[in-house]
Amino acid sequence: IAGITQAPTSQILAAGRRMTLRCTQDMRHNAMYWYRQDLGLGLRLIHYSNTAGTTGKGEVPDGYSVSRANTDDFPLTLASAVPSQTSVYFCASSQAGTGELFFGEGSRLTVL
Amino acid sequence: AQSVTQPDIHITVSEGASLELRCNYSYGATPYLFWYVQSPGQGLQLLLKYFSGDTLVQGIKGFEAEFKRSQSSFNLRKPSVHWSDAAEYFCAVGPFLSGNTPLVFGKGTRLSVIA
């Protein structure tokens, strides 16, 4: 059972470069989310999508964009990476009305 | 706006001792409440959840949590901690029967277990 797959698992990136973190789920959940996790700050929501074709902004959306062309995929793009975007990024999904999130293993991004 | 407070950043307990991790929430409606656990280098895994009914809920790995509306709390407990319980624990709150409004997470409590 794959659940949620994130790629890459780890990446070092030069500041100013463009980066896309990939997220794919095989559970047919309608909602998907991107969180970033930083020491002492817990999990903060970046963007979310309640269903294919729709997206919404979370707590810390600046510098990030997402798309939801289909149910399974929810990529997160950093158009021009900055060092403050160094973090561990988690993708998650949930089925409508349950509230329960299923998480991927995370993508560790370092921006130099 | 909803919020979740986990007052303890780091807790150390001895193996075999009991454990209680605190969680307080602020929410304007009846909430969904969750506890997640994150082992080092891993994603988050659901421990237990409260939606309605019995205020004492049982979860995986021998954990339980009690919803106390009057105190706006949802504390996590385990009677006897094992070394494998060392991890980061997150409390989260979401809306009851309101679709897919994202969960709000607390900042987490790191649990260390000593012999």
d(CA B95, CA A48): 16
pLDDT by residue (tens digit) across A28-40?
Answer: 999 999 999 998 8
Picking from A42, A99, A106, the nearest residue to B108 by CB comes out as A42
C-alpha pair distances (Å), A22 with each of A4, A64, A96, B102:
10, 13, 22, 20
Q: How much is the mean pLDDT over chain B?
A: 90
Token match 């237990």: residue?
Answer: B48
Residue B53 pLDDT level (bands cut at 50, 70, 90): confident
Say if residues B4 and B72 touch (Cβ distance below 8 Å): no
Burial tier of A108 (Cβ tally within 10 Å: 0-12, 13-18, 19+): middle
pLDDT by residue (tens digit) across A6-18?
Answer: 999 999 999 999 9
Residue A90 pLDDT level (bands cut at 50, 70, 90): very high
- Classify B80 as helix, strand or coil: coil
pLDDT at A1: 59
Residue B5 has pLDDT above 80, yes or no: yes
The answer to whether A106 contacts chain B (CB < 8 Å) is yes
Say if residues B37 and B44 touch (Cβ distance below 8 Å): yes
Q: What's the CA dihedral at B92, A24, B97, A54 to 10 degrees?
A: 110
Report the chain B residue with the minimal C-alpha distance to residue A57.
B102
Do B49 and A99 count as a contact with CB atoms less than 8 A apart?
Answer: yes
pLDDT at B99: 53
Q: What is the mean pLDDT of residues A83-92?
A: 97
Bigger pLDDT: B86 vs A96 = B86
- Which residues of chain A does B95 touch, with a Cβ-Cβ cutoff of 8 Å? 99
Give the closest-approach CA distance of A81 to chain B in angstroms: 23
pLDDT by residue (tens digit) across A38-82?
Answer: 988 889 999 999 899 999 999 899 999 999 999 999 999 999 999
Task: State yes or no: cis peptide before B7, omega within 30 of 0.
Answer: no
d(CA B6, CA B61): 21
Say if residues A3 and A92 touch (Cβ distance below 8 Å): no
Residue B62 pLDDT level (bands cut at 50, 70, 90): very high
Bigger pLDDT: A96 vs A70 = A70
